[in-house]
Structure 1
Amino acid sequence: MSNTPFSSLNLPDALVSNLTDLGYSSMTEIQAQALPAILAGQDVIGQAKTGSGKTAAFGLGLLAKLDVKYFRVQSLVLCPTRELADQVASELRKLARSIHNIKILTLCGGVPIGPQIGSLEHGAHIIVGTPGRVIDHLDKGRLNLDDLTTLVLDEADRMLEMGFSADLDAVIAKAPAARQTLLFSATYPSAIASLSERLLRTPVRVTVEQQHNTSSIEQRFYQLSHNNDRLQALQTLLLSYQGQSSMVFCNTKRETQDVADALADAGFSVLALHGDMEQKDRDQTLVQFANGSACILVATDVAARGLDISSVDAVFNYQLAHDADTHTHRIGRTGRAGQTGIALSLFTASDAGKLVALEDGLGIKIEPAALPASHSAQQPAKPQMATLQLDGGKKHKIRAGDIVGALTASKQLTNDDLGKIQLHDIWSFVAVKRSKLKLALQLLQQGKIKGKSIRARLL
């Protein structure tokens, strides 16, 4: 954190007051460095990782100059994944609480396009979306960028990695040349440098050093004799170090699914997350892992980027990351908010090049550790929660309080028996203690929410 208060900026009083209500007193480093230039209308390149506060940095810039009485699309934020877009939109809505009648619309693939078309017909001030779906709406004439004043590219490096370069060019071709462009990227490879040269005008470059404090993370590296020893070694480490939430990182989508399947066959509570999954399955996976209904998430780097998941107990690198930045981002999932964490990595002799890159990038000397002894009597950890999906959501005017009320009205369940509740347009998810699962299902099936019977099922 910096010691610079938000009140020192040229921000509208209502925005500053809302920041105070949200508990945001001092700016993070990226905010302190980038916001003055953003508020001055300059193009900005911000190099900072997830968790640095960059969303608030560009978000406050968008909101400060927004003319809410002018009902046109004034800002567009492009993100690599739907998960990140949803997270960004949620943060923007929180920052915009003091602005009446503002409309922030999310346009992403993987969900029905009909509701988006209807929402666009009613207009919006800020669009947050993924490149492919935004292009679809632009090409069909449903979205118009003639009044755009600010374009934000969030996690631009990931968008290029995921093959969105042509889509980005297509979006930019339909945007006014006279605009402010803000580009945020965790890394700054040559492709990003080239993109910046094409899109930005005399940009201010802001770089914030490593945000994850890895001093609270214990790292261990285990050398294996053969590549096919990895799965057994991973199971041994999981049994020795697994808590209620662990992440396993793999380098390919196929490997991610294979590892998750093998762990499931061995009795572990595990879910996979990768780009080949249907969006509905990705959503359900994230809900279950975030609310404690699964102990292990096996993921690729791209799928795990920008996920709104709090600190995990341990991180396991099934394969070493290709570079130090990605490795640091992986292990930064643990040891957050003052907690200690552990990161365990597997490698073989063929990973010598990656080891050198990690040692140079992290400034450490990697010494192989001995694998712990394998105890066949050990059992995989079991999750404390289970997830129920309800066939009703925001469009049915259902609120979290309605779900809590339906489950606790009879006093057979208490608030302590419930976990996270997540509301979506046409369904909702509620986490329930596994020991109370049968009772919770019975209460939902026999009761009503908002006067209607709502079907519930176990995910």
Structure 2
Amino acid sequence: MGYESPMPVQEEVIPLLLGEDNDVIALAQTGTGKTAAFGLPIIQKIDVTKYQPQALILCPTRELCLQIADDLNEYSKYVENLKVLPVYGGSSIESQIKTLKRGVHIVVATPGRLLDLMNRKTVDLSAVKNVIMDEADEMLNMGFTDSINAILAEVPPSRNMLLFSATMPQGIANITKKYMKKPKEIVIGVKNEGNKNIKHIYYMVHARDKYLALKRIVDYYPNIYGIIFCRTRKETQEIADKLIQDGYNADSLHGELSQAQRDYVMQKFRVKNLQLLVATDVAARGLDVDDLTHVINYGLPDDVESYTHRSGRTGRAGKTGISIAICHVKEKGKIKEIERILNKKFEKGVMPTGKAICEKQLFNLVDQIEKVKVNEEEIGTLMPSIFRKLEWLDKEDIIKRMVSLEFNRLLDYYRDADEIQVVDERSSRQDDYQEKNRSNSKGTGRASQEGYARMFINIGKADGLYPNVLIDLINIHVPGKVQIGKIDLLSNFSFFEVEEGEAKRVIKSLKGVDFDGRRISVEIAQPSEGYGKGKRSGNPSTKSRSNDKEWRKPFAERGAAKRKNRR
């Protein structure tokens, strides 16, 4: 399989798992050789004459479950009769039950489906001697804590337990305290530190320029093979659609796709029929690809752990990789926090110019021409006709035409394209002003400041609205630059301020815009609206859309109507 010497995590873990009564916590990033570290020793310890589960491996997603099972089958190629069963949701539970009844030695499972099988009394964990929790921090993030507790309660206390995690949140500490006996802690690298082979770069741009910046970055790396991470399913699909429309070899991966669609997209990506995969964090779990050149964050995630998992997708198996973040001024604090925890310094990227991109692409084409293998036998009979057809052109003309044929679209695009303004965080008064107002106005309604109009919008925190999302919404849909004042976010609706002269333009531009399936409505707030948290009651998001106007009535008028109804 290409292994020549053990990787650090394998050197540390394998001897411990071959022994008895060795509980281990291994803090290691994705791509450090974890599967072989636990896979090889548990295979060696299996008694193939006993057809009952002797090892249990828990992991967060179907994709990772299948990947681990495939690897274990590869490792056990010469171990006769060893049976590995992947157990996961989205597949026939009856088929999995039948296989369990025939007898298996190793179960690789997602917590939800395994708990379902346990409740049906179709899986017996009484003979399990090794329990592995892979990507434990992600399982906790996905809400599997109760399922994991229920599963571990059914496993014999005499078993070895190995817990793999890229980070060490409090939930992991609780599990180790409850279920592990004096665990040995192995840290590959520095705790919470990212892969040393990864270079971290950030580009700070205005919200309206994020997609244009993404295209430039992708164009600047002609041989890019990477994942673009987005925050939501909707954004993932939108960015993938735009890239495809603009001629890029891309596709999307998110939770709204059927399992067959997800499998098809991932297979295309694994065999490099796709150059760019646009994905959400959860959907990309278990996508085990060693040759990724780049990970691009289309905005930074909310927590450092997610960034660590994202960036760990590149720079694997000893290779180098690049993790890029396209972000706003308001995310500068997130960058500082990630730098502090990972003990890594981000490099501030300089946005490539159109001229630099065209040069990079052209020289890449020249490299490909130099390295291409010529099959003399296949094309030999065609060449005399081709030579006659092109004999009136000299060498320079042929090269110019070949380059133009390949690059006219790119050259035309960048010849007419405006350069993207990279934001100087020290001098961006607009964003600093917005950040200051957000911190001053959390949870409180207040009168508009002089020269500003207070606006009502019919979405709030329950709909996934946050200050950065609202600012993005305005920057994307309202032409020109809009000065934004205070922002007050409530559960089901919100208020924000814009300059009085811009109010009508904002209302018109945002009218009917779709926000995760809900049509946005914006209007100037009534004087009695928004003064103090909680003065609106009920949950408009659970009402029909036709009732939106009712929820925008002034509080006093609504209250009087309610009292009348009670009488």
Do they superpose with TM above 0.5?
yes
Q: How does 1:43-442 map to 2 (within 5 A)?
A: 43-209=23-189, 214-215=196-197, 217-225=198-206, 227-243=207-223, 245-323=225-303, 326-336=306-316, 341-366=321-346, 368-374=348-354
Residues 184 and 88 from structure 1, CA distance in 2 versus in 1: closer, same or farther, beyond 3 angstroms? same
1:294-334 superposed Cα distances (whole Å, 9 cap, x missing partner):
22101122322331223124332211244555435434444
Cα offset, 1:218, TM superposition: 4.9
Structure 2 residues not aligned, in runs of 5+: 362-377, 379-567
How many pairs does the alignment contain? 356
Instruction: Using the TM superposition, give the Cα deviation of residue 108 of structure 1 relative to its aligned residue in structure 2, in angstroms.
Output: 1.1
Structure 1 residues 127-152: Cα deviation after superposition (integer angstroms, max 9, x where no partner) = 11111111111111211112222221
Percent identical residues: 39
Contact 2:230 2:297 in 1 (8 A): yes
Q: What's the CA shift string for 1:40-88, capped at 9, x where partnerless? A: 2211111112221221222223223221111111111111111111111
Contact 2:236 2:278 in 1 (8 A): yes
Change (3 A) 1:72 1:33: same
Kindly indicate whether the alpha-carbon contact (under 8 Å) linking 2:292 and 2:313 is maintained by their aligned counterparts in 1: yes
Maintained 8 Å contact 1:221/1:369: yes
Instruction: Name the CA distance, whole Å, in 2 between partners of 1:309 and 1:323.
Output: 24
Q: CA deviation at 1:364?
A: 4.8
Deviations along 1:4-41, one digit per CA (max 9) or x if unpaired, are xxxxxxxxxxxxxxxxxx44343221122222222222
C-alpha distance in 2 between matches for 1:209 and 1:321: 23
**2:17 pairs with one of 21, 38, 48:** 38
SS in 1 for 2:283: helix
DSSP 3-state at the match of 2:352: coil
- Quote the offset at 1:346 in angstroms: 1.0
Shift of residue 94, structure 1, vs aligned partner: 2.0
Q: Quote how far apart the aligned CAs of 1:275 are.
A: 3.0
Secondary structure (helix, strand or coil) at the match of 1:97 reads coil
Equivalent residues of 1:290, 1:310 under 8 A apart: no
Amino acid at match of 2:134: D
What one-letter code is carried by the residue in structure 1 that aligns with 2:18?
A: L
Question: Offset of 1:370 from its aligned partner?
Answer: 3.4
Amino acid at match of 1:75: A
Q: Specify every segment of 5 or more residues in structure 1 that has no aligned partner in the other structure, as ranges.
A: 1-21, 382-411, 413-459
* Structure 1 residues 37 and 348: alpha-carbon distance in aligned structure 2, compared to 1, 3 A threshold: same
Distance of 1:175 and 1:365 partners within structure 2: 43
- Rg comparison, structure with higher value: 2
- 1:214 is displaced (CA, Å) by 4.3
The structure showing larger relative contact order (alpha-carbon pairs under 8 Å, at least 6 residues apart) is 1
- Residues 407-436 of structure 1 show CA distances to partners (whole Å, capped at 9, x for unaligned) of xxxxx9xxxxxxxxxxxxxxxxxxxxxxxx
Residue aligned with 1:46, SS = strand
CA distance in 2, matches of 1:164, 1:374: 47
Kept in 2, the 8 Å contact 1:242–1:314? The answer is no
The DSSP-based 3-state class of the residue aligned with 1:37 is helix
The amino acid across from 1:91 in the alignment is: D
Q: Distance in 2 between matches of 1:182 and 1:359?
A: 29
The 8 Å contact of residues 229 and 298 in structure 2, kept in 1 or not, is answered as yes
Tell me: CA distance 1:331–1:148, structure 2 relative to 1, closer, same or farther (3 Å): closer
| TM-score (norm. length: structure 2) | 0.58
The 1:193/1:364 distance shift into structure 2, 3 A limit, reads closer
Q: Secondary structure at the match of 1:171?
A: helix
Task: Supply the AA of the counterpart residue of 1:51.
Answer: G
Decide whether the 8 Å contact of 2:62 with 2:286 is kept in 1: no
Q: Secondary structure at the match of 1:220?
A: strand
CA distance in 1, matches of 2:199, 2:39: 34
Distance 2:129 2:196 in 1: 38
Distance between the aligned counterparts of 1:219 and 1:182, measured in 2?
Answer: 31
Q: Give 2:213's aligned amino acid.
A: A
CA contact (8 A) 2:58 2:111 kept: yes
Q: CA deviation at 1:239?
A: 2.7
Preserved contact between residue 311 and residue 333 of structure 1 (Cα < 8 Å):
no
Query: Could you say what secondary structure the match of 1:61 adopts?
Result: helix
- Indicate if the aligned counterparts of 1:323 and 1:357 stay in contact, CA closer than 8 A: no
CA contact (8 A) 2:300 2:327 kept: yes
1:420 maps to which residue? none
Q: C-alpha displacement at 1:269, in angstroms? A: 2.5
Contact 2:239–2:278 (CA under 8 A) maintained in structure 1 = yes
Q: Give 1:181 deviation, angstroms.
A: 1.6
Q: Shift of residue 205 of structure 1?
A: 1.2
- Is the Cα contact below 8 Å between 2:296 and 2:324 reproduced in 1? yes
Q: What are the equivalent positions in structure 2 for 1:17-36 lying under 5 Å apart?
A: 22-36=1-15
Matched AA of 1:230: K
RMSD across aligned C-alpha pairs, in angstroms?
2.6
Judge conservation of contact 1:152–1:181 (CA < 8 Å) in 2.
yes
Shift of 1:119: 1.1
The 3 A distance-change label for structure 1 pair 173 and 292 is: same
d(CA) in 2 for partners of 1:296 and 1:276? 19
CA distances 1:89-112 after superposition (whole Å, capped 9, x unpaired): 122122222321111111111122
Structure-1-length-normalised TM-score: 0.71
State the Cα distance separating 1:162 from its structure 2 match.
Answer: 0.9
- In 2: Cα distance, 1:33 partner to 1:116 partner: 34
